[in-house]
Structures are given as C-alpha cells and as structure tokens.
Structure 1
C-alpha cells in the first residue's frame, strides 16, 4: 500500500534547525575547572531534564539544579548565555515549504525559555505552529505529544512528516502513524524537498 504524500511538516529544533558549537561549553568548563562534558552531562540527566521539558519546573529552576550539582553557578550562567545558531539551509527549506502552502510546525522538547530563544534567533514568525513539550505536558516521542502536534497543524497523522535527529523520536512518530525522517545533515534536504513535490 502506497502512503499518501505529506501535506504538513513538523521540524525538530535542536540538532536540525538549531546547531550548537561543542567548543563553547568545552571552553567554559576549562575556564571554570570543570571536567569536559560536565555541563551537558549534568543538565541532560533525565531526572533533571524531564521535569523541565514537561513544564513541571521552569528553565531557571532546571539550571539552578545543574549549578547546585556542579557547585559552579557562574559556569552555568556563562553557558546559558550561548543559545546556539540557526542553520540557514534548514530555515530556507521551511520558508519554501510554507510558501508552497505546506504548513510547518516546530516540534521540540523544550522549556519555558523557548519563546525567548525563538525571538533571539529570529524565528518568532518562522512557523505556523509551535509545539513545545513543556506547554503540552508531554515530550517526544509520547503519543500524546504527537497528537497535540497534529491537532496544532490541523492535519491527520498520516499526512504529517516529522524531521528529527533522534532515532527514538522517529520510531515513536511512526508508531503514532506519522511519516518520519531521520535527519543527519543538510544534504537530506534534497530528498525532503522531493518528498513534498507531489503534495496535493
């Protein structure tokens, strides 16, 4: 059975649209006498991360817990000044899709700092919908998250294409009946553009 072409897109933020320079935290760790990888490893520990991306605690509370665990509040504050960079090729693809009539949603596991980050990165008007896990109260790849995302795009799951850099999220999206593509780098855009050509 041939599946219908996607008529809406969901694009992940971190790892797809937003890039992070690993040299930034490494330099901060060196300057503050922390082990390499300490900032990210501590912040991404699931018992700290999960409450932040499901809206149970604020971004500031999350970072306070990281600072307390490391005993390095100044290092964490310095790290948080860096908010990543937008990949211009991915942003252009999003603009092309929207211009062709394909609605595009941002699908991200994020905290209550997301709106401020989008403003800082110049992305406030880049999407037709923003699906923030901390607002939904469920994170990717939970079926509740994908249901909220499809509702936000007013599109049935089997017509929504998710682009994400996480194998686990891609698998979860497929279980929820979405089309899903595992992102590697901007070279993928050739295929993704072609996947939308025959959209009705």
Structure 2
C-alpha cells in the first residue's frame, strides 16, 4: 500500500541542519596538549550525555563534568576549564543547502520541525545561527524529558507538528533514530549529505 504524502518535515539538527568543523576541536586539543578526539569522547560518554539530553542537568553542568574529567590529562583544573570553554565557543555552522530545502518546504505549505537530542543551550544556538524564525516548531529532548529514538519522543514531535505520524517525513543521520521513527509510524530517511536533497524534494512533492 502506498504511503500517504508527507505534509510535515522533521529534520535533525547536528549532522543535518548544523555541521561541525572537526578542525576546531582538534586545534584546542593540540593547544592544550590533549590526545586527539578526547574532548568529544569524554563529552559523549553516555552516562555523562544522557542526563543533559533529558534535561536532568544543564549544559553548563555537563561541560563542568567534562572539564573535571579532563583535569588529570592537563594537570590543572583551571587549564582544563579553559580548554573546554575555548572548545565550546564554536557553535557549528548552518548547512546552507539544507536551510534552502527547509525554506522551500515551508513556502510550499509543509510544516517543518527541528527534531533534536539537545541541551538547554539549543535556543541560544538557534538564535546565534540565525535559525529562530526558520522553523515552525522545535522539539528538544532536554525540554520534553525524552530523547530519540524513544517512541515517546516521536509522539511528542508529531503532536508539536499537529500532524499524524504517517504524514511526517523525518530526516536524521543516525540509524537508531531512523529505526525509532519508523517504529513510531513516521516515514524516515537516513541522511548522507546534501546529495540526498534531490530525492527528498521529490518525496515532498508527492
């Protein structure tokens, strides 16, 4: 049976609409004598990451815990905090091709939501990147207390979009999120890069 045409679009933030230049973290790590990749490795340890993605701790507290974990590597707590602060000043960049796609969808009457596992810094990031008025809804895991790929996350996203799951197209760069969305009844597309936009435009055009 053919699926219903999507009337709403839910896009992931990091890895889709926002991209990160790995050279920034690498430069900080070199400057402070840290091993390559250690900032991301510490920050993304699930026991440290999960509480901030569900709103149990703040972004600031999360970064304090990263600095605490780094202290033995740099030998000085103040220096560890300085390294983390310098790393965090960079807030990524908007992918211009994805933003154009979002604008086209909205102009065609499709509701567009940002569906992201994020911290309480998300609103400030959206403002800094000029995205505040580019989206109809923002579904932030830390604000609703549940993260992708949980079915409750996608239920909340569809409710925010005021659209039934069968009519929502979800785009994300993580397989687990894609699987979770499909299990919740959404159409889901695994993002590989801007070359995918031609296909996604065709899907939305019906």
TM-score class, shorter-chain normalisation, is over 0.9
Per the alignment, residue 127 of structure 1 pairs with: 135
Number of aligned pairs? Answer: 198
Per the alignment, residue 117 of structure 2 pairs with: 109
Q: Equivalents in 2 of 1:123, 1:101: separation in Å?
A: 18
Q: Equivalents in 2 of 1:89, 1:5: separation in Å?
A: 23
Runs of 4+ in 1 over 6 A off after TM superposition: none
Per the alignment, residue 151 of structure 1 pairs with: 159
Structure 1 gap segments, 5+ residues each: none
Three-state SS of the structure 2 residue aligned to 1:35 is coil
Cα offset, 1:182, TM superposition: 0.1
Per the alignment, residue 66 of structure 2 pairs with: 66
Cα offset, 1:136, TM superposition: 0.8
Per the alignment, residue 51 of structure 2 pairs with: 51
Q: Equivalents in 2 of 1:177, 1:47: separation in Å?
A: 29
Structure 2 gap segments, 5+ residues each: 72-79
Answering whether residue 122 of structure 2 is matched by residue 118 of structure 1, we say no
Per the alignment, residue 8 of structure 2 pairs with: 8
Three-state SS of the structure 2 residue aligned to 1:131 is strand
TM-score by length of 2: 0.95
Cα offset, 1:2, TM superposition: 1.0
Q: Equivalents in 1 of 2:148, 2:192: separation in Å?
A: 18
Per the alignment, residue 183 of structure 2 pairs with: 175
Q: Equivalents in 1 of 2:126, 2:205: separation in Å?
A: 28
Per the alignment, residue 101 of structure 2 pairs with: 93
Deviations 1:22-72 (A, max 9, x none): 111001000001100000000000001000010000000000000000011
Q: Equivalents in 1 of 2:198, 2:60: separation in Å?
A: 39
Answering whether residue 31 of structure 2 is matched by residue 23 of structure 1, we say no
Three-state SS of the structure 2 residue aligned to 1:110 is coil
Three-state SS of the structure 2 residue aligned to 1:39 is helix
Aligned Cα root-mean-square deviation (Å): 0.5
Q: Equivalents in 1 of 2:167, 2:142: separation in Å?
A: 25
Deviations 1:71-97 (A, max 9, x none): 111110000000000000000000000
Q: Equivalents in 1 of 2:188, 2:32: separation in Å?
A: 41
